[in-house]
C-alpha cells in the first residue's frame, strides 16, 4: 500500500487505464501542459504525449461534444470540466445528448466515457465555483454518478468508470484533493454501484457522500463517546447505480436514517434515499427520517459564512441526537 | 433525390392521415444537398444530421421501410419507435444520429472526426445544419475546435432562409450566416447553389479530399429552400408568395431532370426511374403499415450498454 | 367567467400585465410575428409592437442573458424558452447567474423576470422535446418554480409571476395547451406558493402537478366509485415556494401520501415532498409513502411506448389501492 | 492606474499573509484598459467585468476599503463577504457585477444595453473579458444579438495572451481572437495597444460616441499582459522569460509616467500623487483589517427580493 493524496490518485487512476488501453484519451482545459488547475493530472502529458492528453480552448460544449463523438466511434475518452459548476454551460451535451442517445437509438451505440470534475464547497471560491451538483446528474436517466471520499476510492472507482461501457460523471470533492490515504499497490479497480459501510452501529444509520463522509464519521465518534449513541456510517460512493441493498440492510438494523448532503436542500440525493426508505422500510422505522443539508441558498464566499451553511460535525451530531433521544 | 422526394411526400401524406404522430420536418426542396454529399461520401464516413434528416439518412442507404416505420412508431422502425422522426440513426450506415437540439451535433461531429484522426482511418465526418444554427454557441465552439485540431470534418450549412418562422436575415448580423463567418475560424468562405446537385457534389468531393489529406475542416454554405413549412404544424404562410414561386422554379429535381434530358438521357429512361422509385415508396409504405407496434417492454430497456435500465440493486 | 384554452390563457396573462406595466417586455424565438410555435402568444405583437415583443435568434444564452440584464436594470422581462429541454443550452444563465446574483451581491439587485417554457411529455416529440424539468429548477436556490394545470391558473399564476420581484420559472405542460376551462373575467392575479386542494378525502392524499393533476383526479374518482377509497387530491401548482402547510395538513388527516410525478424517478419533487413528510409527519403516517413516477428512462417517441412509461390513471389507482388495502 | 496597481499589489500581499482566502485574479499590468475605459464612461453607464475585475470596479469609484474588505471576507466588504473577490458588484457605481463563469456576462451586458435602449437613457454598457473568452459560445451569441438589435454596448477583449495557463494561440483558430472575428458580426476590427492608456481612452470615447448615437455595438481587442500568474495559485512559470521581460518593459504605468514627465509634469508632483495613492491603500488596508467578520445570519438571507430565503411555508 502506498500513501497517495486524493489529487495524486486521480492521475494514478487515469495513468493506470491509459497504459492498459490505447483507446483512452484525456482532454480538458489546462489539463495537459499545466497538469490541471488542481494539479490532479500532472505527468500525464509527459507519459502519454499530446495526441492522448489534450489541452482545449475554453469551450465546454466542444469538449463534451468531442468526448461524446469520440466515444460513439470506438474510443474511451475522459474529459475534465474544471469546476462542476461549469456543467451548466454544456448541460445539453451531457443531459440531452450523451445520456439519451443510446436509448433513443434503440441501443445502437454506447458511450464509454468519463467526465471528471472538481465538485463541492469548502474552498471559499464563492457561489459559482463551489456547488455540489451530483444531483443534477442523478436526475438524468442515462448517467452513472460517482463521488469518492478517499484516495483509494478515487483510483479504484475512476478506473472502474473508465472501463465501464456507460457514461460516468465522476465528481471529485475539491476540498479533499490534499487529503492522503492508503491506496492498494498495483492494478486497482473497484466496482461501481457499491456503497461502503464505514462503521457499524445499532441506533442509527448515517448516509453520507464525498466530503460529508469524514464529517459523518467524526460525528459518529462523538455520538459514541459523548452521547452513547451507536451509529452506522455508510459512504454512498455511487449515486447511480445506487446500492440500495446496503442502505436498506443497515436501516433495517438500526431503524433510523439520517442523510448528510452537501448540496442545497431541495431535490438532493438524500430526498431520493429518504423516499426509498419511507416506502420500502416504513414498517421497520423507529423514527422520522432526517436530512442534514446545506440550507437552500447559494454558497457564500467568506470562510466564516461558508462554514456556517455547510453541514458540519456539530450539526450532524445534534440532528442524530435529537432523533435518537 | 427522387427517392428523397418520394419518401418525404409520402411522409407528409401519412402525417395527414394521422399515421405519423408528434412532429416531423421535411426537406422537400432541399434534396440536392443530401444527395450531393451522400454520393460523394465513402461508405464508412460519418453523417451527423438534424431533425430535418430523413434525406440525409436515406442517401446513406438506410431502407425506406425503416424510416417510414420509425415515423409511424412501428416495430420495423429504424429505432423501433424509441427515437421518432427527429432522431433517425443507423450506425451501420454511418448515420451517427439526427439531433433535435439546434447545434448540438456540431461538437459531437468534431468528436467523431477526432476519433477518426486518432485512429488514422481516413474517415471523414459531415455535419448538416441550418442557417439558424449558426447563431447558437455550439456552432462557434465546434468550428473553432475543429480548426485548432485540424479535424477531418465538413460543416454543411443548408441556408433555407428561415429558422422556424423567422427570416434568418432578421436575426443575423451578417448576410450569409455561415460563409460570412468562415474567416472567424481561419477558413475560406464557400457559398454554393445548394439546389444544383452537380455543384454540391463537386464541392463535397473537394472538401472530402481536403479533409482526408489532413488539411482540416471546411465550412460550406449551400443556399436552398424548403418547399413546405418548418414542421408538420406549419403551413409556411409567413413567406411571400413570389419568394416561394421563385424557389419552386429552382426545384433541384425538375432542373436536374431537364439537365439530364439535355445531356441526352431519354424521357423513357427517366420515367422508368421515377416509376421504380414510386414503386419502392409504395412498397415501403405498405410494409411499414403492416408492421405491428413495437413490444412495450422496449420502453424500459437499453438505457445502459448491458441492455438494462436499472439504477439500483 | 369566460372559457379559454390553456394556450389562450398564456397570451391573456401576458397581455393583462403588459397593458398594466410598460416595463414588461417579452422575447423569444418565433414568439412575435409567428405568435409562438404553440400559438400561445398570438396577438401580442399586434397589440404591443416590436419594441416590446421581440423575435430573437436561436441563441438561448443570449435570450436569457438579455432577460437577466434587462431585469437588473429596471425592466420586467418575460422570456420564452420554446421547449423546456432547451434550458440545457442556457442553464448557466439560469442556474449560476440569475439564481445566485442577488445573494452573491448581498442583495444589491433583484431579478423580476419570468421564463416561460413548454414542458413535459404526451405529445410524441421524443426524448429531447418532452422532458419534465421542473425539478432541475427546484434544485437551484434562487428560482421560483410554477407549473399550472388549468387555464385559470395559467393566467392567474403567470400574472403573479410577472409581478413577483424574483425570477420565476413558469412551466406550461404542452399536452394541456388545448384544454379549456373557465377563467375569471377582468384582472386575474393569483398567489404564488399556494397549493390547491382539488378534492377532499379521508384515506389518502394524492399530490400531483401539471398534467398529472387531471390524471390524479380521474384516479380519485375511480378509487371512490370502484374501490370505496376516499382520496384528497392536491395540485401542488408551485414547487418553490412550496405550500407545505396545505400538504402536511392533508396528509395529517388522511395518514397516507402518494405523489404523482411526470418526471423520471430520481430526485423528483416527489422525493422532496416524501422526505418532508417522512420527517415532519412520521408519527401521523398510517403507511409507506408511495411515489408514482415515470421510470428512470428518457421518453420514447412512439405513442404506444410513451403511454407505457408516463404515469397513467390505472397506475395511480393501482398504487393507491395497494397502499390503502 | 496607480490606484489599481497599489490596490492589487496589496491584495497580493494580503493573500500571502493568508488574510485573503479562496482565490483572486489580479490585473497587474493590465491597468490601462480599465483606467482608459473607466475614465471615458459617464457616471450612469454600466460595467460588466470578470473575476479579474478589481481594477474595473475601482475605476468606477468604488472605495478601496470595500474591495479589500470583500477580499478578506469582512463586514466592511462590498458584498459583506457573500460574493468574494470574483464577484465584486456595486450597482450604485454602475458596476453591474463581476462574473466568474467565462463569457456569461456578455449576453447579460447585452440585456442591460437593451434596457437602456428601451428606456432611452443614453447609458452605454461596457463588458470586459479575456482572449480565452472568445472561444466560448456565449461570446458568439451575445455579439450576434447585440448587432442585430443595435444595442449600445461595447465589448472589450483584454488579450493577455493566455487563458489560464494555455497560450491563446494554441487553442484559437485565428491570430487575434476578437479582432479577427469582428467581421463575423458585421463589425469592423479594432485592435489597440491596451498598455497605452491614451490610446485606450480615445478608442473608448469613439465607441461610446457610436453607441450613444444609436449606431450599435463595438468589439475592441486591447493587447496587454498580466505581470503575474492567472490566479493566486499560479506563479506563471509557463511563460518564456523573454516574453515576460518584453512586456514588463511595456508596463502601462511606468510608460505613462515617462510620458507625463515628457509633457512637463514635474517629478515632485508625480511623486506626491504616488505617495497619496500609497497612503490611501494603506489606510484602506488598515480599515479593512479592523473590520469584523460579517454577521453569520447574512449567510441565510437575501435569496429573495423580500430579503428572505424561505422556500416553504
Ligand atoms: C437549442 C434549440 N433551440 C430551439 C430549437 C427549436 N427549433 C427547432 S428547429 C429550429 C429552427 C432551426 O433553423 P435552421 O437552423 O435554419 O434549420 P432548418 O429548420 O431551417 O432546417 C428551432 C428554432 C431547438 N430545437 N433547439
Ligand atoms: C465556462 C468556464 N470555463 C472555464 C472557467 C475557468 N477559467 C477561469 S478564468 C479562465 C481563463 C480565462 O481566460 P481569458 O478569457 O483569457 O481571461 P484572463 O483570465 O486571461 O483575464 C478559465 C478557463 C470558467 N471560469 N468558466
Ligand atoms: Mg433554416
Ligand atoms: Mg487571457
Tell whether D301 is covered by a domain. Answer: no
Query: Which residues 258-297 of A have a C-beta within 8 angstroms of B?
Result: 276
Among B182, C62, B110, B149, which Cα is nearest to D180's?
Answer: B182
Domain assignment of residue B67, given as a range: 2-291
Residues C14 and C148 in one domain: yes
Euclidean distance between CA atoms B144 and C15, whole angstroms: 42
Tell whether B251 is covered by a domain. Answer: yes
What is the pLDDT, as a whole number, of residue C47?
98
d(CA B151, nearest CA chain D) in Å: 12
Among D170, D106, D239, which Cα is nearest to A29's?
Answer: D170
- Return the CATH number at A85: 3.40.50.970
Between CA A167 and CA A177, with CA A173 as vertex, the angle to 5 degrees is 115
Partner-chain residue, chosen from C127, C140, C240, that has the shortest CB–CB distance to A103 = C127
Q: Flag whether pLDDT at A284 surpasses 90.
A: yes
Tell whether D265 is covered by a domain. Answer: yes
Does the global pTM surpass 0.90?
A: yes
- pLDDT grade, residue C209 (50/70/90)? very high
Mean pLDDT for B6-12 is 85
Q: How does pLDDT run across D210-221, given as a tens digit for each residue?
A: 999 999 999 999
Give the DSSP H or E segment for C155.
helix C151-163
Q: CB contact, 8 Å: B75 with chain A? A: no
Q: Flag whether pLDDT at D93 surpasses 90.
A: yes
Residues A172 and A216 in one domain: no
Tell whether A119 is covered by a domain. Answer: yes
What is the pLDDT, as a whole number, of residue B4?
81
Euclidean distance between CA atoms D42 and D94, whole angstroms: 10
Q: CB contact, 8 Å: C101 with chain D? A: yes
What is the pLDDT, as a whole number, of residue C45?
98
Q: Flag whether pLDDT at D4 surpasses 90.
A: no
Q: CB contact, 8 Å: A279 with chain C? A: yes
Among C96, A182, C20, C299, which Cα is nearest to B87's?
Answer: C299
- pLDDT grade, residue D2 (50/70/90)? confident
The residue from A129, A188, A227, A296 that is catalytic is: A129
- Note the ipTM here: 0.98
Euclidean distance between CA atoms B59 and B4, whole angstroms: 8
Tell whether C191 is covered by a domain. Answer: no
What is the pLDDT, as a whole number, of residue B8?
85
d(CA A282, nearest CA chain C) in Å: 5
Residues C21 and C149 in one domain: yes
Can you say whether residue B235 is alpha, beta or left, with left for phi > 0 and alpha for psi between -120 and 50 degrees?
Answer: alpha
Tell whether D93 is covered by a domain. Answer: yes
* Neighbouring chains to B with at least 3 Cβ pairs closer than 8 Å: A, C, D
- For residue C129, indicate whether it is catalytic: yes
Residues C123 and C212 in one domain: no
Which chain D residue lies closest to A29 (C-alpha atoms)? D166
Q: Flag whether pLDDT at D3 surpasses 90.
A: no
Euclidean distance between CA atoms D15 and B76, whole angstroms: 66
DSSP C136-147: HHHTSTT-EEE-
Q: CB contact, 8 Å: D174 with chain A? A: no
Tell whether D240 is covered by a domain. Answer: yes
Q: CB contact, 8 Å: D50 with chain A? A: no
Residues A45 and A126 in one domain: yes
Q: Alpha helix locations (H) across chain B?
A: 2-16, 31-40, 54-58, 64-72, 105-119, 137-148, 197-212, 241-248, 252-262, 267-290
Name B95's bridge partners.
B47, B90
Query: Mutate which of A58, A60, A295, A297 to disrupt the D interface (most D C-beta within 10 Å)?
Result: A58
Which of the listed residues C183, C208, C236 is the one where a domain comes to its end? C183
- pLDDT grade, residue A114 (50/70/90)? very high
**Ligand 1 closest atom vs CA B52:** 21
Residues A217 and A281 in one domain: yes
Structurally, how many domains does chain A consist of? 2
Tell whether B307 is covered by a domain. Answer: no
- Return the CATH number at D243: 3.40.50.970
Q: Contact A300/D299, CB-based, under 8 Å? A: yes
Which of the listed residues A127, A157, A183 is the one where a domain comes to its end? A183
Structurally, how many domains does chain B consist of? 1
All three cell numbers of A228, joined, read 452513547
Tell whether B185 is covered by a domain. Answer: yes
Tell whether A15 is covered by a domain. Answer: yes
C267 interaction partners in chain A (CB closer than 8 Å): 135, 138-139, 267-269, 271-272
Residues C14 and C113 in one domain: yes
B282, HSE (Cβ side, Cα atoms, 13 Å): 6
The bridge status of strand A204-208 relative to strand A257-264 is parallel
Mean pLDDT for B153-168 is 97
Domain assignment of residue A26, given as a range: 2-183
Tell whether B136 is covered by a domain. Answer: yes
Residues with CB under 6 A from ligand 1: B 52, 100-102, 129-133, 160, 162-164, 230; C 29, 58, 60, 82, 86, 89
Tell whether A221 is covered by a domain. Answer: yes
Distances (CA, A) of C18 to C8, C77, C135: 15, 10, 29
Euclidean distance between CA atoms C126 and C301, whole angstroms: 4
Residues C118 and C254 in one domain: no
The dihedral sign for the CA sequence D163, D168, D173, D175 = positive
Residue partners of D269: CB distance under 8 A and separation at least 6 = none
Hey, which of D25, D49, D52, D102 would you mutate to test ligand 2's pocket, going by the most ligand atoms within 8 Å of its Cβ? D102
Q: What is the interface size between A and D, counted as CB pairs within 8 Å?
A: 135
Q: Flag whether pLDDT at D14 surpasses 90.
A: no
Q: How does pLDDT run across A227-268, given as a tens digit for each residue?
A: 999 999 999 999 999 999 999 999 999 999 999 999 999 999
What is the pLDDT, as a whole number, of residue C270?
98
What is the pLDDT, as a whole number, of residue D235?
86
- Residue B31: CB atoms within 10 A of its CB come to 30
The bridge status of strand A238-240 relative to strand A144-146 is antiparallel
What is the pLDDT, as a whole number, of residue B111?
98
What is the pLDDT, as a whole number, of residue D15?
84
Give the DSSP H or E segment for C222.
helix C212-227
Name D95's bridge partners.
D47, D90
Tell whether A189 is covered by a domain. Answer: no
Q: How does pLDDT run across D260-307, given as a tens digit for each residue?
A: 999 999 999 999 999 999 999 999 999 999 999 999 999 999 999 999
Q: CB contact, 8 Å: B147 with chain D? A: yes
Residues C175 and C208 in one domain: no
D170 interaction partners in chain A (CB closer than 8 Å): 55
Residues A115 and A66 in one domain: yes
Euclidean distance between CA atoms C112 and C126, whole angstroms: 33
Cβ atoms of residues B35 and B1 within 8 Å: yes
Mean pLDDT for D29-57 is 97
What is the pLDDT, as a whole number, of residue B13?
87
Residues C90 and C7 in one domain: yes
- pLDDT grade, residue D1 (50/70/90)? confident
Tell whether C190 is covered by a domain. Answer: no
Give the DSSP H or E segment for C14.
helix C6-20
Cβ atoms of residues C235 and C208 within 8 Å: yes
Could you give the percent of chain A with pLDDT greater than 90? 99
CA of C59 to the centre of ligand 3 (A): 14
Q: Contact B141/D138, CB-based, under 8 Å? A: no
What is the number of the ligand closest to the CA of D30?
2
* Strand order, beta sheet including B153-159: B95-99, B46-50, B125-130, B153-159, B218-223, B190-193
Among A298, A289, A296, which Cα is nearest to A248's?
Answer: A289
Could you give the percent of chain D with pLDDT greater than 70? 100
Nearest CA, atom 10, ligand 2: D164
- Return the CATH number at C275: 3.40.50.920
Q: How does pLDDT run across D21-30, given as a tens digit for each residue?
A: 888 899 999 9
Residues C153 and C210 in one domain: no
| Residue D28 near ligand 2, beta carbon < 6 Å | no
Euclidean distance between CA atoms A32 and B209, whole angstroms: 31
Amino acid at each position: 500500500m502506498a500513501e497517495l493524496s486524493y489529487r495524486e490518485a486521480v492521475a494514478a487512476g487515469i495513468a493506470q487505464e491509459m497504459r492498459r488501453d490505447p483507446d483512452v484519451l484525456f482532454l480538458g482545459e489546462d489539463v495537459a501542459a499545466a497538469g490541471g488547475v488542481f494539479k490532479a493530472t500532472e505527468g500525464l502529458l509527459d507519459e502519454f504525449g499530446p495526441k492522448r492528453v489534450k489541452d482545449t480552448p475554453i469551450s465546454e460544449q466542444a469538449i463534451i461534444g468531442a468526448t461524446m463523438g469520440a466515444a460513439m466511434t470506438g474510443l474511451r475518452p475522459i474529459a475534465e470540466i474544471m469546476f462542476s459548476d461549469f456543467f451548466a454551460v454544456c448541460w445539453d451535451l451531457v443531459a440531452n445528448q450523451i445520456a439519451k442517445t443510446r436509448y433513443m437509438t434503440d441501443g445502437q451505440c454506447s458511450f464509454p466515457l468519463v467526465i471528471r470534475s472538481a465538485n463541492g464547497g469548502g474552498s471559499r471560491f464563492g457561489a459559482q465555483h463551489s456547488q455540489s451538483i451530483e444531483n443534477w446528474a442523478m436526475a438524468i436517466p442515462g448517467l452513472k454518478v460517482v463521488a469518492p471520499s478517499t484516495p483509494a476510492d478515487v483510483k479504484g472507482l475512476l478506473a472502474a468508470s473508465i472501463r465501464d461501457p456507460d457514461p460516468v460523471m465522476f465528481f471529485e470533492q475539491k476540498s479533499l484533493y490534499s487529503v492522503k490515504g492508503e491506496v492498494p499497490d498495483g492494478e486497482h479497480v473497484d466496482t461501481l454501484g457499491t456503497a461502503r459501510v464505514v462503521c457499524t452501529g445499532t441506533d442509527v444509520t448515517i448516509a453520507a457522500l464525498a466530503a460529508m463522509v469524514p464529517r459523518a464519521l467524526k460525528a459518529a465518534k462523538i455520538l459514541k463517546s459523548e452521547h452513547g449513541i451507536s451509529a452506522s456510517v455508510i459512504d454512498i460512493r455511487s449515486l447511480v447505480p445506487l446500492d440500495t441493498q446496503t442502505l436498506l440492510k443497515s436501516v433495517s438494523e438500526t431503524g433510523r436514517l439520517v442523510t448528510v448532503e452537501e448540496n442545497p436542500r431541495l431535490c438532493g440525493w438524500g430526498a431520493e434515499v429518504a423516499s426509498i426508505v419511507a416506502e420500502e422500510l416504513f414498517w421497520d422505522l423507529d423514527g422520522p427520517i432526517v436530512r442534514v443539508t446545506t440550507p437552500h441558498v447559494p454558497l457564500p464566499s467568506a470562510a466564516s459564512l461558508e462554514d456556517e451553511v455547510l453541514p458540519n460535525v456539530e450539526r450532524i451530531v445534534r440532528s442524530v441526537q435529537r432523533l435518537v433521544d | 433525390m427522387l427517392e428523397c422526394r418520394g419518401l418525404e411526400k409520402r411522409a407528409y401524406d401519412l402525417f395527414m392521415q394521422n399515421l405519423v404522430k408528434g412532429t416531423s420536418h421535411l426537406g422537400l426542396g432541399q434534396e440536392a444537398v443530401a444527395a450531393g454529399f451522400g454520393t460523394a461520401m465513402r461508405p464508412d464516413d460519418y453523417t451527423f444530421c438534424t431533425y430535418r434528416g430523413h434525406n440525409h439518412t436515406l442517401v446513406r442507404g438506410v431502407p425506406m421501410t425503416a424510416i417510414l416505420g420509425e415515423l409511424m412508431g412501428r416495430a420495423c422502425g429504424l429505432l423501433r419507435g424509441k427515437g421518432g422522426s427527429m432522431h433517425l440513426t443507423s450506425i451501420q450506415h454511418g448515420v451517427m444520429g439526427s439531433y433535435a437540439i439546434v447545434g448540438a451535433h456540431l461538437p459531437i461531429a468534431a468528436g467523431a472526426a477526432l476519433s477518426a484522426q486518432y485512429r488514422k482511418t481516413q474517415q471523414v465526418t459531415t455535419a448538416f445544419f441550418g442557417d439558424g444554427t449558426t447563431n447558437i454557441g455550439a456552432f462557434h465552439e465546434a468550428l473553432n475546435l475543429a480548426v485548432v485540431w485540424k479535424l477531418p470534418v465538413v460543416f454543411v450549412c443548408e441556408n433555407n432562409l428561415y429558422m422556424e418562422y423567422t427570416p434568418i436575415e432578421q436575426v443575423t448580423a451578417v448576410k450569409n450566416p455561415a460563409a460570412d463567418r468562415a474567416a472567424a475560424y481561419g477558413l475560406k468562405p464557400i457559398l454554393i447553389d445548394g439546389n444544383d446537385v452537380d455543384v454540391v457534389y463537386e464541392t463535397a468531393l473537394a472538401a472530402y479530399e481536403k479533409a482526408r489529406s489532413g488539411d482540416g475542416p471546411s465550412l460550406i454554405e449551400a443556399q436552398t429552400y424548403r418547399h413546405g413549412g418548418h414542421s408538420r404544424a406549419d403551413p409556411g404562410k409567413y413567406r411571400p408568395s413570389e419568394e416561394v414561386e421563385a424557389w419552386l422554379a429552382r426545384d433541384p429535381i425538375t432542373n436536374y431532370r431537364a439537365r439530364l434530358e439535355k445531356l441526352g438521357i431519354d424521357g423513357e429512361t427517366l420515367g422508368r426511374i421515377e416509376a421504380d422509385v414510386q414503386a419502392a415508396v409504395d412498397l415501403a409504405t405498405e410494409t411499414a403499415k403492416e408492421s405491428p407496434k413495437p413490444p412495450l417492454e422496449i420502453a424500459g430497456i437499453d438505457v445502459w450498454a448491458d441492455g438494462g435500465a436499472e439504477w439500483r440493486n
